[in-house]
């Protein structure tokens, strides 16, 4: 039997999305040999949405903010896409060298910030977070958009940028800075700023980055963020979506072994994180009923 090929969009090299995509594909392909999930680099979330709509991708990784804007029709026509699974909760924050003088977001105003690769969903999150605080990520900072995510850590390490914006557990850019000779420090919104952000944008939630997620990070970091998703083109056959959901469910332990943050990629979290159950692919819903998650 010829395996069903699933072209899966990730993001630019050096960021967390390609790392997840490789682990995700390897796990599903290992569990179900009738599937051949093939990860491919793209410009990130903001490119994956139109590629999925056009049918150029079968599945793709998209941050929560980009997904929210797509289905809500913000700045565009509403997108017709479906959720295959929640990936992981994605927290947003800055990282600076530990020997830098910066300790708050106010300290970073007017400084050069490596916001991320131009198509990255992290930039969309940054825009919402900064706006929720009454700031403009372009006007209140010296913004630097990157050709690829891997360029950002080097800018912080050699002093060309004061801070790098990113987030999540095990994000490669943060690991690079944290493993640098000076070590690193995280800067996130304070309690009052978190209330202002989540009050203005209810799809953004308070998220805690657990202690020891990165080298020399002994304390939890309270910040904000949202869930990232694997989305599918609306025409992805139900049986393919069903088999992918089954493989993900059966391979949960193996996926978590490959990538720590992917331990959150469960169907239970998918059901909880989805803005509406009807946004979950019908094939995935069918499998959820088989295992008793849905009635």
Tell me: the pLDDT tens digits for 133-189?
999 999 999 999 998 888 999 999 999 999 999 988 888 999 999 999 999 999 999
Q: Quick one: pLDDT at residue 1?
A: 63
For the chain, residues classed under CATH 3.40.190.10 are: 4-88+228-290, 90-226
Pick the CATH number of 90-226 from 3.40.190.10, 3.40.50.10420, 3.40.50.300, 3.90.226.10: 3.40.190.10
Pick the CATH number of 4-88+228-290 from 3.30.565.10, 3.40.190.10, 1.10.10.10, 3.40.50.720: 3.40.190.10
Query: Are the C-beta atoms of residues 284 and 241 closer than 8 Å to each other?
Result: yes
Closest C-alpha among 146, 145, 127 to residue 14: 146
Q: Quick one: pLDDT at residue 36?
A: 98
Q: Quick one: pLDDT at residue 122?
A: 85
Closest C-alpha among 91, 100, 102 to residue 165: 91
Distances from the Cα of 259 to the Cα of 69, 92, 255, 291, angstroms:
28, 19, 6, 24
> What's the burial of 90, exposed, middle or buried (CB within 10 Å: 0-12/13-18/19+)?
buried
Closest C-alpha among 268, 275, 228, 271 to residue 252: 268
Question: Which residues of the chain have a pLDDT value below 70?
Answer: 1
Query: Are the C-beta atoms of residues 94 and 259 closer than 8 Å to each other?
Result: no
| H/E segment holding residue 91 | strand 82-97
Q: What three-state secondary structure class fits 111?
A: coil
């Amino acid at each position: 039997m010829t395996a069903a090929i699933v072209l899966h969009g990730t993001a630019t090299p050096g960021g967390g999305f390609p790392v997840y995509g490789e682990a995700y594909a390897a796990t599903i392909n290992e569990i179900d040999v009738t599937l051949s999930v093939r990860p491919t680099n793209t410009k990130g979330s903001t490119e994956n949405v139109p590629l999925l709509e056009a049918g150029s991708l079968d599945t793709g990784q998209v941050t929560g903010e980009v997904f929210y804007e797509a289905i809500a029709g913000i700045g565009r026509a509403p997108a017709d896409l479906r959720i295959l699974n929640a990936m992981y909760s994605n927290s947003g924050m800055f990282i600076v060298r530990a020997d830098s003088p910066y300790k708050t977001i106010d300290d970073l105003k007017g400084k050069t910030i490596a916001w991320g690769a131009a198509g990255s969903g992290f930039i969309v999150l940054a825009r919402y977070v900064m706006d929720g605080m009454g700031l403009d990520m372009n006007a209140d900072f010296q913004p630097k958009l990157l050709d690829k995510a891997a360029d950002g850590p080097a800018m912080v390490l050699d002093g060309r940028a004061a801070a790098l914006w990113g987030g999540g557990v095990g994000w490669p850019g943060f690991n690079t800075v944290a493993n640098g000779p000076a070590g690193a420090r995280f800067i996130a919104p304070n309690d009052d700023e978190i209330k202002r952000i989540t009050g203005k944008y209810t799809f953004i939630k308070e998220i805690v980055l657990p202690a020891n997620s990165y080298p020399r990070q002994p304390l939890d970091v309270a910040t904000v963020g949202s869930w990232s998703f694997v989305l599918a083109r609306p025409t992805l056959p139900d049986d393919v979506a069903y088999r992918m959901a089954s493989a993900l469910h059966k391979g949960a332990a193996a996926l978590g072994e490959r990538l720590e943050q992917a331990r959150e990629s469960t169907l239970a979290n998918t059901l909880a994180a989805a803005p509406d159950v009807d946004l979950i692919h019908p094939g995935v819903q069918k499998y959820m009923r088989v295992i008793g998650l849905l009635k």
